[in-house]
Structure formats: structure tokens, C-alpha cells
């Protein structure tokens, strides 16, 4: 049973879905199924999620580049992405996996400050 499912995935990719999507639907299905509540997904829903993920990647990359600091140097860096995750409402759900990087020195300073404030009370 498992074999035939895998084959069907491959056939999907080489035929109908080839022109419209480039991410592998089998992998997207695997990620979707890793969610414990999900029991089954129909073909159209799988196709749409895959396509949506591609649109999402484009949208995230482009808005991070356009609002980022690398426009003059023609670069897209991690900090541009972290900035977008923090500043853009629709990308807020990414803040956990795209945390802003700060220097250890700054972090220690702010930690010290917080402890001082605590001591004051």
C-alpha cells in the first residue's frame, strides 16, 4: 500500500503538476501529515498548499529585500528576514523561528539592567 502511494506521488510530479508547481507535493504532504490532528488531505488541497507555499516564499523574499538594508548592495541577509518577521503583521508567526540577532554584549547589558530594576523594587 505504501509503495503505490509513493508511485502516485512521483507520477503527479512528472505529469500534471509539473508546469504549475515546482515544490514536491510528496514532501509537502509529509509536513502536513506531521500535524497530529490531520487525518487526510484531498488532491486539490495538497496542490493548493504546495502552490501557496511557493507564493509565500516569493512574498517573504521580495518584501524582505524591498524593506531590507541590502538594496544598495544587492543582497538579502538574515537580518532583513528577521526584520520583516517582526515588522510585518502577516509574518508575525515567524518571529519564533526568525529571532532578531543581538550581540551578547547588548544582551548581557539589558540583563544587568533588568536585574538592577528588580533590585530597586
Task: Enumerate binding residues for another protein (CB under 8 A).
Answer: 1, 4-5, 7-8, 11-12, 15-17, 19-24, 27-28, 30-35, 37-45, 47-49, 51-62, 64-65, 70, 73-78, 80-82, 85, 89-90, 93-94, 97-98
Minimum gap (Å) between residue 55 Cβ and another protein: 5
Minimum gap (Å) between residue 5 Cβ and another protein: 6
Residues constituting the chain: 121
Q: How far apart are CA 35 and CA 32, in angstroms?
A: 6
Q: Which is nearer to another protein, 32 or 86 (CB)?
A: 32
Minimum gap (Å) between residue 111 Cβ and another protein: 25
Measured over the CA atoms of residue 26, residue 32, residue 36 and residue 42, the dihedral's sign is negative
Using alpha carbons, select from 115, 118, 86 the residue that is nearest to residue 99: 86
Within 8 A by CB and 6+ apart from 90, the residues are none
Q: Which is nearer to another protein, 51 or 86 (CB)?
A: 51
Q: Which is nearer to another protein, 15 or 105 (CB)?
A: 15
69 membership: H or E segment, kind and range: none
Amino acid at each position: 500500500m505504501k509503495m503505490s502511494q509513493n508511485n502516485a506521488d512521483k507520477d503527479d510530479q512528472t505529469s500534471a503538476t509539473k508546469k504549475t508547481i515546482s515544490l514536491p507535493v510528496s514532501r509537502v504532504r509529509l509536513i502536513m501529515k506531521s500535524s497530529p490532528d490531520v487525518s487526510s488531505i484531498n488532491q486539490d488541497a495538497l496542490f493548493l498548499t504546495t502552490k501557496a507555499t511557493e507564493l509565500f516564499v516569493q512574498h517573504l523574499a521580495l518584501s524582505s529585500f524591498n524593506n531590507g538594508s541590502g538594496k544598495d548592495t544587492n543582497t538579502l541577509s538574515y537580518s532583513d528576514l528577521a526584520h520583516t518577521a517582526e515588522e510585518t503583521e502577516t509574518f508575525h508567526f515567524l518571529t519564533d523561528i526568525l529571532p532578531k540577532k543581538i550581540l551578547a554584549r547588548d544582551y548581557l547589558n539589558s540583563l544587568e539592567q533588568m536585574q538592577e530594576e528588580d533590585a530597586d523594587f
